Amino acid sequence: MEITASLLLQQLFVGLALGAIYVLVAVGLSLIFGLLGVVNFAHGAFYMLGAYVAVYVYGLTGSFWACLLLVPLAVGLLGLLAERWLIRPLYGRGVDYPLLLTFGLAYVLVDSVRMVWGVQGEAFATPEALRGAVDVGFGVFPLYRLFLIGLCAGLLLALWLFIEKTRLGLIIRAGARDPLVLKVLGIDVGRIWLLIFGLGTALAGLAGLLAAPLRGVNPEMGGSVLIEAFVITVIGGMGSLVGAIVAGLLVGVVVAMTTLFQPEFAELAIFALMAAVLILRPNGLFGKS
């Protein structure tokens, strides 16, 4: 195989699209950790659930756009329930307990999906309007991946505006820094945490839906994504949103490039990257020491 500049550019683009999915997962994970101090081991399961809800909604409505609206709502709602009834009783009992609980929750979600949809997995076609490829001036790229990157960028912009410019965003930023002060000011921190958990899981569900046309749908799809999201948060710095974005795109590109040159090393490359970051900057690229 000859490596040309255009092939590299194509693969870089594939990596960015993959990275966009990683970013959505990792940003949710990072938001939840940054505010609640909870490492959500069920995050991959919520991602997987997003893809399955998409299969269900698509079967009912036949519309990808309906999925785009309903999947984050449904998965986010489930996230709200999980925070309220399972995670909330554990606050103040140490960081390990929510982690163990969400690990168990992931088992429950994955096996429940197997019970309903079976173990063999489902296909999810690229929506009709987003098939084909377009010429963007410097190369021809698949439309769906362009859409993916654009949607992700739009969502991140909206999230940034929400956190930086709204009153609720101000409360969230304050909560990340010192929840006690918020309580003293008479703000119900529990409601903020509930909201953030719902938002984070909704983003994971959305990422699962967006990944479905590219990577297929099966009950185990969340496991590898969870580990990749962990690697991204470690590289980017725990709780840092900018870190999650930069590291997510970086990991996407690294995976795509190693797949091009040495497919069998694609899985190992990101761990090597993580090890290097840990040696040079134990708190991650954007983490506070």
Partner 1 sequence: MNLLSALTPAATRHRVLLSIAVLALFPLLMPFHALAINILLFGLFGAGYNLTFGYTGKLSFGHAAFYGTGAYGCGILIATHQVPWPVAIAVGMALGGLVALLIGALAIRTRGIYFAMVTLALAQCVYFAAFHATSLTGGDNGLRGVNLPALQLGSWRLDLLQPLNRYYFMLGFVAVAIWVLSRILNSPFGAVLEAIRENEQRARASGFDVERTKLLSFVISGLFCGLAGALSAINLATVGIDMLSYHTSGQVMMVTLLGGMGTFFGPFIGAGTFLAMEHALTAVTERWQLIVGLMFIGLVLFFPKGIWGSLLARIDR
Binding-site ranges for partner 1 (CB under 8 A): 33, 37, 39, 86, 89-90, 93, 95-97, 99-101, 103-112, 114-115, 223, 227, 230-231, 233-234, 238, 264, 267-268, 271, 274-275, 278-279, 282-283
Minimum distance from residue 83 beta carbon to partner 1 (Å): 14
Residue 11, CA atoms < 13 Å, CB-side half-sphere? 16
Minimum distance from residue 92 beta carbon to partner 1 (Å): 13
Alpha-carbon span 60 to 66, nearest angstrom: 10
Length of the chain: 289
Minimum distance from residue 282 beta carbon to partner 1 (Å): 4
Nearer to partner 1, 186 or 263 (CB): 263
Nearer to partner 1, 92 or 186 (CB): 92
Nearer to partner 1, 42 or 149 (CB): 42
Alpha-carbon span 124 to 218, nearest angstrom: 11
The one-letter code for the residue type at 136 is V
Nearer to partner 1, 37 or 169 (CB): 37
Q: Give the DSSP H or E segment for 142.
A: strand 140-142
Minimum distance from residue 81 beta carbon to partner 1 (Å): 13
Minimum distance from residue 252 beta carbon to partner 1 (Å): 16
Strands 140-142 and 133-135: antiparallel
Helix axes 167-177, 143-165, angle to 10 degrees: 80
Count of Cβ atoms closer than 10 Å to residue 272 Cβ: 12
Nearer to partner 1, 152 or 240 (CB): 240
